[in-house]
């Protein structure tokens, strides 16, 4: 059990650092291909999703976290997402108890260390990699639901004129045009209409890559059971989320309760307290 707790603490530390400070300078090339009309792709599931059919998402997760490709940590957890209300990723050592939880709420991010009864929270603007890149809750929600989106978090169908669209063979390539905001590139499978990848790069160097695979039906809607998210900066951190026993059954979303027995800390003290448990 002690080893499982140490592994969980290490993994949670990486997740915290990943979201609060990771940057790199990277140039993006422009994809070549034939221009495509908005009308020809507007009805693809990744462009105009049936948001009423997938309001809820929950399932077991197998998290694999690797740093600089030199080994990895595997931990179990649970994922719960409700459109417009929040994203929860719980971390469980050996699959027994919830030791930690990360919550992405509409206006803030919260890290909860349940083993030490400490927590920290911040608006998106104060989380380094997220704040500096302009990522908000709506962007994160779209990433988890496998939708294309605009830098401000609107679904792509609300502003396709703000994107360049290319036919690159078996896929469509979409790229946002606003150079002042986080610039995103999307790759959509022509045949299925699924989003296969999403890449984001900001002018200040923050970068993110999301790859989707293993599509299976959840409530008659094809959904990826594997999401691989890579952040590149001083270190390269790869988070692989394997989803199992997923469903879209309705549930009441509620943020984790942090009562008077929990100590609220600033992010630096919170990270220090996790390191002390390794």
Per-residue pLDDT of the chain (278 residues; tens, 9 = 90+): 455 455 555 556 556 655 665 544 444 455 567 888 888 898 999 998 887 778 999 999 988 887 777 667 788 889 999 999 999 998 886 666 788 889 999 999 999 988 889 999 988 887 765 655 677 899 989 998 999 999 888 999 999 999 999 999 999 999 998 877 788 999 999 999 999 999 988 777 777 899 999 998 887 788 999 999 887 766 677 889 999 999 999 999 999 888 899 999 988 888 777 777 65
Q: How far, in whole angstroms, is CA 263 from its chain's centroid?
A: 27
> What's the pLDDT at 220?
78
pLDDT of res. 132:
54
Q: Which domain holds residue 104?
A: 2-275
Question: Do residues 100 and 12 lie in contact, with contact meaning Cβ atoms separated by under 8 Å?
Answer: yes
Q: What is the distance between the alpha carbons of residues 148 and 135, in angstroms, rounded to a whole number? A: 14
Angle at 70 between CA 237 and CA 66, to 5 degrees: 30
The CA distance from 195 to 172, in Å, is 10
Radius of gyration of the chain (CA): 19
- What pTM was estimated for this model as a whole? 0.84
Predicted local distance difference test score (pLDDT) of residue 243: 93
pLDDT at 234: 66
- C-alpha–C-alpha distance, residues 201 and 199, integer Å: 7
Contact 251, 80 (CB under 8 A): yes
- Nearest residue to 133 (alpha-carbon basis) of 21, 267, 12, 268: 21
User: What's the pLDDT score for residue 173?
Assistant: 95
φ, ψ (nearest 5 deg) of residue 144: -70, -30
Task: Report DSSP letters for the chain, one per residue.
Answer: -HHHHHHHHHHHHHHHHHHHS-------PPPP-EE--HHHHTTSTTTS--TTT-SEEEEEEEEEEEETTS-EEEEEEEEEEETTTEEEEEEEGGGTS--EEEEEETTEEEEEETTTTEEEEE-GGGSHHHHHHT--HHHHHHHHHT--B-TTS-BGGG-GGGEEEEE-SSEEEEEE--TTS-EEEEEEETTT--EEEEEEE-TTS-EEEEEEEEEEEETTEEEEEEEEEEEESSSEEEEEEEEEEEE-------PPP--TTSEE--HHHHHHHHHTT-
What's the CATH code of the domain at 85? 2.50.20.10
Per-residue model confidence (pLDDT) at position 207 = 79
Q: Can you tell me which residue has the tokens 């169908």?
A: 157
CA distance 89 to 78: 6
- Overall domain count for the chain: 1
């Amino acid at each position: 059990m002690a080893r499982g707790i140490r592994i969980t603490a290490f993994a949670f530390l990486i997740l915290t650092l990943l979201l609060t400070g990771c940057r790199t300078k990277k140039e993006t090339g422009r994809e070549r291909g034939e221009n495509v009309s908005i009308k020809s792709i507007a009805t693809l599931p990744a462009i105009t999703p049936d948001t009423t059919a997938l309001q809820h998402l929950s399932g077991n997760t197998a998290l694999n976290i690797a740093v600089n490709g030199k080994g990895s940590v595997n931990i179990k957890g649970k994922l719960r997402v409700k459109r417009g209300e929040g994203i929860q990723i719980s971390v469980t050592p050996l699959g027994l108890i919830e030791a930690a939880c990360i919550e992405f709420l509409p206006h803030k991010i919260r890290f909860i260390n349940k083993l030490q009864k400490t927590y920290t929270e911040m608006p998106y603007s104060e989380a380094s990699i997220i704040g500096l890149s302009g990522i908000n809750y709506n962007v994160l929600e779209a990433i988890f639901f496998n939708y294309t989106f605009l830098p401000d978090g609107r679904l792509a169908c609300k502003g396709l004129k703000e994107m360049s669209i290319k036919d690159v063979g078996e896929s469509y390539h979409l790229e946002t045009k606003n150079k002042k905001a986080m610039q995103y590139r999307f790759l959509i499978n022509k045949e299925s209409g699924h989003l296969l990848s999403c890449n984001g790069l900001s002018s200040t160097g923050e970068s993110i890559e999301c790859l989707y695979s293993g599509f299976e039906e959840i409530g008659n809607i094809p959904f990826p059971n594997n999401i691989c998210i890579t952040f590149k900066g001083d270190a390269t951190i790869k988070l692989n989320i394997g989803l199992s026993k997923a469903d879209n059954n309705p549930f009441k979303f509620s943020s984790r309760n942090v009562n008077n027995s929990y100590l609220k800390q600033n992010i630096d003290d919170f990270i220090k307290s996790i390191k002390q448990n390794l």
